[in-house]
Chains A and B, each alone.
Chain A
Amino acid sequence: METNNQEYRISFFKPSNPQTTANRNMVLWLLLIWTVAIFGFHVVLKLIEEPTPEPILLSYQEVSQNVYQGNASLNEMQTFAKVPLQVLSKVFIVPEERIELQNALNWAIFQIADDEEKDALKAEIANFKAIEEKTTDILAQDYQQAKIELMAVAAPMLGLSDRDVRTKILPLELNTEYPQNMSEENIAQLETVLNKYLIHNESVLTNMTVLGFPFHYFYTAVFLLILFVVLCWIYCVRTDVLNKKYGIDD
């Protein structure tokens, strides 16, 4: 009984015959490739990444001091106002952060406007808001009309051309309620939001392109899946060969 008890032991790491040894070695090799391909690559991606600001964040940093001290040129004010507008044009912004960005944008555009322009802008915003509230169809004539009129008043103040994506977004982000001045707190909150949305983890792996893709995206979304199928294929072919060699019929 005692001797019997010593037999029939299975352990993946201690194979008992040439066939199980061959199988273990193959499985370990495949696992190694699998692990390195998935996790190894992402560790490398993490290690070499550099937090990289979008160009628009750099232009914010260039002009912001002058803007907050009240001695910015028109050009600098316009550059400043475009920054929150550009972030607002992105697809996913948390609602509370949207308010911070809108505050900065509206503060800036009303700084730019002279008294006459201010009244015109306020009137157009009020007109658009009133229609926007009622409308259920964004294709409705009066809604589109009010939007275009507001755009025509506001876009030139920021020096935005008709062919700028942000021009189309601008009317939706304007508001007559905005802070009269940007307090330290406002500024700090705005900069937190800007840093969150305008700094990205880039590296040589993300900036290279392959077949139109950013390389790392191609690697994960396309190549890894191909690799998985190939690994499975290799395993099956090799197992068939090994089984034949050791005369195993399954």
Chain B
Amino acid sequence: MKRFITLIILLLSSTVIFAANAATDLEGGFKLGPAIIMITILVIFVMVGIIFRAKNTNDFYAAGRGISKVGSGMAIASNWMSAASFLGMAALMYGSGYHGLSYVVGWTGGYVLLLILMAGQIRKYGKYTAADFIGDRYYSRTLRAVAAVIAILISIAYCVGQFGGIGLLFKWIMGIEYWLAVVIGGSVVLTYTLISGMLGVTKNMQIQYVIIIISFLIPLFILTFKFDYFWLLPQIGYGSVVSDIVGGIPLAETADLVNKYGHEFAMVPMPEYAMPWDPATGQTFFQWIAIAFSLMIGTAGLPHVLQRFYVVPNAKDARWSVVWGLFFICILYWSAPVYSAFGQILSAHPEIGALEKDAIVVYTAQLGNIHPLIVGFLAAGGVSAAFSTVSGLLVAGSSAFAHDLYVKVFRPDSSPKIQLRMARYGTVVMAVIVASIALLKLALIGQLVAVAFSLAGCTIFPLFLLGIWWSGSNKQGAIAGLIAGGLVSLIAIAYFIAGTQGVTLPFNEFIDYYLGAWYFAVFGAPLAIIVHIIVAKLTPETPIEIRKFLTESVHS
């Protein structure tokens, strides 16, 4: 079997070499090279899944107890790194400079909270899903159902941005319309999820991580080398690029450095790229803080992230895997700004026209005249990043539907077979919903994903934080807090949707600014926590069994 797979991989890679000159223009037509690279990578993922398939359910959930901390760190990182990290972050910095760094900080700083406040305790609590924990800790079947619904909503919101990224990359690779690309890309990712969902995941995730990070880093070494910056460590070397953007690059110094279209590597001073909350970007200090804060607490409230800690062997491994996971994530996050900095200079000439910001990573590599196959590999890496996250989210969402809603709430007597069937239906329905929303192209990928974070920060985060650290937190408090956080979310999202449809609601400007769709958790989460505490103080205490369990098992 293994020999057979190696043969296929070799065959596929040889076709890649023949396809070398296919990719040309920034958009252009069908690109054979990148297409083959992408298909090869996806085939490798499925093959690896087959080779290392989970032997039994325990194996499946535990996702390989024998795996080292480094290995499970890689799994955390690959699970985390999505189209938002791969494409979206560079896009935000490209479009709004220093403001974009609030996303970088937000999507990494949250791991500190997650680790020091939750990771070990969640492992000790020992449930399988976020809804399981909430239903159990707050001794309420209703809350379990509500938590499952919220987990599904968060998965959907999170996936919309991913589908947008998949659509952009498929559009780029295949040279087709965006809507068609979303439909095709969505179908491929759905098929992939249905196949790989049955297979072991963790080994796959390590390989995914390695491919994603290598494809992302190679162009950076080339760019820094080519344009004469310190290339041995592009993550530091691009510092001078940022300073050059601020101070401007005169023509004389760069006589023979040009982009793909012969525009010289030069630009007028653009301090707005690096100066904080620059008026030119239209973003303020408050928004910087609000986004960083919302993304951080959102990180510590995302069901599919929290769920990863249930599957590590013990609390110690849960903790250490976060350190490694964060380190591996940071490698990507240290690197993403390099793309936006080079993208800024390489696309500075107005002849380049307005570029699709979310594809700036790929365009920058192209504009920098990097070999089409390497750009193809980069795009394929982006597809893998989106695929790994989407399949994880679709599985999390559909298991919330099948396991937490259907079985535990509606049909406790259903057989495992029916459960599995419901999970598959759930996956398909979710994918269709997500694709339809992605077609609307409501905002940048990074912003769409940020909506999911704020939603998690307003709803799930307070329940976990208080549930773990305060035995006084009870069912009534949880319900009240959830209503408060849910209302804030509802208002923010309603205003956002109304805005995209051109409808003006009362207090539009005020709400849009203070409860922006990407950062409403900045007020929503503290409100939910305060309401939770007040109501819990006024209502009957948590039953003794749960407090006993908390004391003896979680905090011993």
Contact = CB atoms under 8 A, between A and B. Distances in A.
Contact of A34 (B109, B267, B323): B109
Interface in A78-106: 86, 88-92
B272 A165 contact: no
Closest 9 CB pairs of A and B: A212-B239, A213-B239, A212-B240, A8-B547, A250-B315, A12-B469, A10-B471, A200-B275, A89-B268
Interface residues of B, number: 85
A30 B349 CA distance: 46
A34 B110 CA distance: 10
Interface in A182-212: 195-197, 199-202, 206, 209-212
Contact of A235 (B116, B293, B315): B116
Contacts of B502: none
A11 B469 contact: yes
B66 interface: no
B348 A89 contact: yes
Contact of B279 (A34, A163, A199, A206): A199
A17 B351 CA distance: 68
B270 A201 contact: no
A199 B271 CA distance: 9
21 contacts: A4-B544, A7-B547, A10-B547, A11-B471, A12-B469, A46-B285, A86-B268, A89-B350, A165-B251, A168-B251, A168-B263, A172-B351, A173-B350, A211-B236, A224-B105, A228-B109, A232-B116, A236-B322, A236-B323, A243-B316, A250-B316
Given A89-B267, A233-B323, A214 B246 contact: yes
Nearest to B244: A212
A185 B116 CA distance: 57
A166 B252 CA distance: 13
A30 B242 CA distance: 31
Contacts of B246: 214
A166 B262 CA distance: 16
Nearest to A197: B280
Interface of B: 95, 98, 101, 104-105, 108-109, 111-113, 115-117, 120, 124, 230, 235-237, 239-240, 242-243, 246, 248-252, 261-264, 266-272, 274-280, 285, 288-289, 292-293, 314-316, 319-320, 322-323, 326-327, 330, 333-334, 337, 344, 347-351, 469-472, 541, 544, 547-548, 550-552, 554-556
A236 B108 contact: no
B551 A45 contact: no
A36 interface: no
A90 B246 CA distance: 11
Contacts of A38: 105, 109, 292
Contacts of B554: 10
A5 interface: yes
Interface in A164-182: 164-166, 168-169, 172-173
Contacts of A30: 112, 116
Max count, chain A CB within 10 A of own CB: residue among B280, B319, B348: B280
A163 B266 CA distance: 10
Contacts, number: 210
A169 B108 CA distance: 39
A34 B112 contact: yes
Q: Binding site of B, secondary structure by majority: helix, strand, loop or mixed?
A: helix
Contacts of B469: 10-12
A249 B156 CA distance: 39
Interface stretch (A62-70, A115-123, A150-158, A215-223): A215-223
A8 B543 CA distance: 10
B330 A240 contact: no
A220 B104 CA distance: 9
A225 B280 contact: no
Contacts of A139: 261-262
A39 B344 CA distance: 28
Given A8-B544, A166-B268, A239-B319, A229 B101 contact: no
A216 B239 CA distance: 11
A168 B239 contact: no
Given A201-B277, A212-B243, 8 more contacts: A5-B544, A10-B547, A10-B555, A89-B268, A163-B252, A211-B239, A225-B330, A239-B319
Contact of B269 (A54, A168, A201, A229): A54
Given A165-B266, A212-B239, A235-B115, A8 B323 contact: no
A60 to B, nearest CB: 14
B275 A164 contact: no
A33 B116 CA distance: 13
A162 B228 CA distance: 23
A39 B288 CA distance: 10
A225 B252 CA distance: 36
Contacts of B327: 229
B274 A214 contact: yes
A239 B120 contact: yes
A91 B347 contact: yes
A42 B289 contact: yes
A27 interface: yes
A233 B285 CA distance: 30
Given A86-B268, A217-B98, A10 B551 contact: yes
A11 B347 contact: no
